[in-house]
């Protein structure tokens, strides 16, 4: 039986230094809205069709549905891409006036955002990153500041996406 997903065999870990998201250290995902930023976000979670054989599907702890278009194959998705989709929805709501991201009624948007916050909360609690956040002295500000740009042991996202 798979631990969590058929992708377990591709998981490798690597050391990643997070960005601060301040000054010159702003990744594209945290920049002001633009077509380029939207495309970068979409590339994070838009993956090709994912399918597995019936024998692989039978090993999964949760059952999935057979694909009509591909007999003998079953649909599945890695939750990381679903979570990134939800995070992108939150990002879009922060910039609600830009590009009319949604035309849905506000009650539907609020319901979706509550769901997305819940999904991200559960994912964070499930992965429970135990990397150490530190405080370092800032000569410029003359205060000890929390530093988010520290090393983390991460699953190799590029390998999982590929």
Closest CA to 122 of 130, 112, 132, 114: 114
Q: Where are the alpha helices (DSSP H) in the chain?
A: 35-45, 54-59, 79-94, 106-127, 157-161
Average pLDDT over residues 72-93: 88
* Band of residue 1 on the pLDDT scale cut at 50, 70, 90: very low
Average pLDDT over residues 37-46: 93
Query: Is residue 162 predicted with pLDDT exceeding 90?
Result: no
* Band of residue 139 on the pLDDT scale cut at 50, 70, 90: very high
Average pLDDT over residues 82-108: 79
Can you give the pTM of this predicted structure?
A: 0.77
Query: Is residue 20 predicted with pLDDT exceeding 90?
Result: no
């Amino acid at each position: 039986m798979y631990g969590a997903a058929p992708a377990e065999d591709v998981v490798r870990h690597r050391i990643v230094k997070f960005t601060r998201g301040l000054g010159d250290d702003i990744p594209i995902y945290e920049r002001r809205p633009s077509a380029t930023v939207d495309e970068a976000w979409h590339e994070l979670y838009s993956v090709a069709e994912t399918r597995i054989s019936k024998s692989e599907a039978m090993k999964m702890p949760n059952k999935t549905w057979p694909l009509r278009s591909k007999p003998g194959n079953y649909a599945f998705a890695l939750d990381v891409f679903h979570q990134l989709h939800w995070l992108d929805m939150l990002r879009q709501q922060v910039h609600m006036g830009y590009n009319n991201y949604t035309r849905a009624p506000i009650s539907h948007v609020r319901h979706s955002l509550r769901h997305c916050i819940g999904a991200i909360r559960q994912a964070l609690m499930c992965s429970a990153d135990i990397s150490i956040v530190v405080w370092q002295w800032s000569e410029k500000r003359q205060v000890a500041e929390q530093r988010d740009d520290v090393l983390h042991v991460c699953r190799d996202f590029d390998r999982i996406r590929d």
